[in-house]
A and B are shown apart, each in its own frame.
Chain A
């Protein structure tokens, strides 16, 4: 039995897991961005990403190539994210945290409803972003689609990191998230930094949605709901206030879920998410702030 173990298959399954984990990572990063700046979990993040994906679908449908639509959609989504923050989050900026959470829940229904209103609720498909033919890496056949997905999502993550690390605007928005009062005194426009965070989060979500859709044979307006669940779980696993943790957490979760589904028969597809969540819960009981999260220090 042990001798028959197929290392090639294991390697392939790990890459498949990393591919889905990479897609979740971009959405998880969007969640972390908003959590760090606003302190809330944005329940509408997945639906906003779905809306972006439908915009991309419309652009492709009007004759644009996939990658042109990809770039254009990211820009539109950024503006859309800023607009959403100005329109519905700013009015509740000073309200209790749970009020803001409920607003994002309302936003979930609004965006989902709007998408079904604008693009009637029928299934559609996006062309494949990458060639579907396999590629040979050190004797193991990997799908180019999977490797490309990993590449694009990690690329997006990398760009975001460069922005926060090396630009003045990135520094200002990090400062606004860590200490709003002091930043305001130093001339940072904190409220607009929140809007910037929402814009960037929407853009990251768009990447996630546009990578999720082509991999499926067809999709509808419920496209991103499972992705949101996994992204949330992965982000919490990594530590919800750590962008690095969110990426690592979702990648681990992607591999974990895929290996569980492949190798443990009785779990099947039905119990995949619950089992993954149980594992995360186990981790959280040992490390209550996730793998890379910071301990919240409270002043009495």
Chain B
């Protein structure tokens, strides 16, 4: 007994602490800043999704911003054209991006490394152009405005939202919605990567040849990783559309794909808790670097220098640091005396 119970207890303690932070974080920041936190939640969901693909399955993607676009535009189109309630579009947005992710996974079966990077990059670069070209559905360069086209379907338009008899501001609602989905998504991902499926993904990452020799169907698990990752990106895109109340091609540029990748690597590929730090890094760093000096060029300089510095100091991301910090504890808990 003893050790195992202690381990389970420790995990429960961490989960309880995470839940408390989730519930009470907005009370410590202003209403306005809880919107920033909500935005960080969008990054978090997308980064957790990319982590499965890149961190656990070893497939690089420079196109996750475009998958977010699929989700965001699904939500926006359903609200604007079909007058759906905004929050009910989220599952469909995830599904749509999951299907597209699966389709991207098909050519990816033949490509690896930089060639795969180019394929996903092509998707990211083409997306804004395609969105402008098919303007009937997407509103072209103007994009789609949820608030103007069907305000009655935007949750919290009156300023407050009431859930289970508990009323809160719209910004708080967006925070709780985004991070609730984020935490559920995190839990699901944790169950995936620690189980048999996660082991199959890691086998593909560590050695394709060895995986095939042991009877792992490469095509199935690569496309599956792309699809699951796509669902996460789609949900993130949907939440972004709901938060911004507008989508246009400029929301989903190549830069967004890059930011998600930066977040995943800074958070630590192949580590789940690190993803929270990765998301906060991507969300708050631009703001912090503008605060250093707003002279032209200086914020970008500081931003880039911070990325380089973090990577030099933490080559395996924040996740690597967390692992090292927790190592004395985990070895005591999980090794037999």
Contact = CB atoms under 8 A, between A and B. Distances in A.
Do chains A and B interact in one complex? yes
Interface of A: 35, 41, 88, 91-92, 94-96, 98-99, 101-103, 105-118, 120-121, 221, 229, 232-233, 236, 240, 270-271, 273-274, 277-278, 280-281, 284-285, 288-290, 296, 298, 300
B179 to A, nearest CB: 25
Contact of A114 (B111, B266, B301, B306): B301
Interface of B: 54, 60, 107, 110-115, 117-119, 121-122, 125-126, 129-130, 132-133, 207-210, 213, 258, 261-262, 265-266, 269, 295-308, 311-312, 315-317
Contacts of A99: 265, 311, 315-317
Nearest first, the 5 A-B pairs at minimum CB distance are A109-B304, A116-B297, A113-B300, A113-B301, A106-B307
A103 B312 contact: yes
A240 B115 CA distance: 8
Contact of A113 (B113, B121, B269, B303): B303
Which of A88, A102, A108, A300 has the most CB atoms of chain B within a 10 A radius of its CB?
A: A102
Contacts of B305: 106, 110
Nearest to B307: A106
Contact of A284 (B111, B298, B303): B111
Given A273-B126, A285-B111, 4 more contacts: A92-B315, A106-B303, A277-B126, A281-B107
11 contacts: A41-B117, A94-B315, A111-B304, A113-B302, A114-B297, A116-B296, A232-B118, A232-B121, A240-B115, A274-B122, A281-B122
Contacts of B130: 274
A110 B266 CA distance: 17
A197 B266 CA distance: 27
A40 B265 CA distance: 15
B297 A113 contact: yes
A246 B113 CA distance: 17
A289 B115 contact: yes
A231 B300 CA distance: 24
Q: Which of B130, B132, B265 counts the most A-chain CB atoms under 10 A from its CB?
A: B265
Contacts of B269: 96, 98
A111 B304 CA distance: 8
Contacts of B117: 41
A111 B297 CA distance: 9
Contact of A106 (B112, B208, B296, B311): B311
B125 A117 contact: no
Given A105-B262, A106-B307, A285-B107, A117 B114 contact: no
Nearest to B259: A105
Contact of B298 (A94, A111, A113): A113
A95 B54 CA distance: 16
Contacts of B295: 117
A106 B258 CA distance: 11
Contacts of A111: 304
B114 A236 contact: yes
B308 A106 contact: yes
A284 B121 contact: no
Contacts of A102: 261-262, 265-266, 307, 311
Nearest to B111: A288
A117 B112 CA distance: 38
Best-surrounded residue of A98, A120, A121, A290 (most CB of chain B within 10 A): A98
Contact of A103 (B121, B297, B301, B307): B307
Which residue among B54, B113, B210 has the maximum number of chain A CB atoms within 10 Å of its CB?
A: B113
Which residue of A88, A99, A288 has the most chain B CB atoms within 10 A of its CB atom?
A: A99
Given A271-B129, A280-B122, A110 B209 contact: no
Nearest to B213: A300
B270 to A, nearest CB: 10
A274 B130 CA distance: 9
Contact of B129 (A114, A240, A270, A280): A270
B316 A284 contact: no
Contact of A109 (B60, B110, B303): B303
Nearest to A88: B308
Nearest to A275: B126
Contacts of A91: 312
Contacts of B213: 300
A41 B297 CA distance: 24
A109 B307 CA distance: 9
Contacts of A96: 269, 315-316
A80 to B, nearest CB: 16
A243 to B, nearest CB: 15
Nearest to B107: A285
B207 to A, nearest CB: 6
Nearest to B254: A229
Contacts of B303: 106, 109, 113
A27 to B, nearest CB: 15
Contact of B311 (A95, A114, A274, A300): A95
Contacts of B210: 300
Nearest to B119: A281
B297 A112 contact: yes
Interface centre among B213, B300, B305 (most CB of A within 10 A): B300
Contacts of B262: 102, 105
A117 B118 CA distance: 31
Nearest to B110: A288
A103 B126 contact: no
A105 B307 contact: yes
A116 B293 CA distance: 13
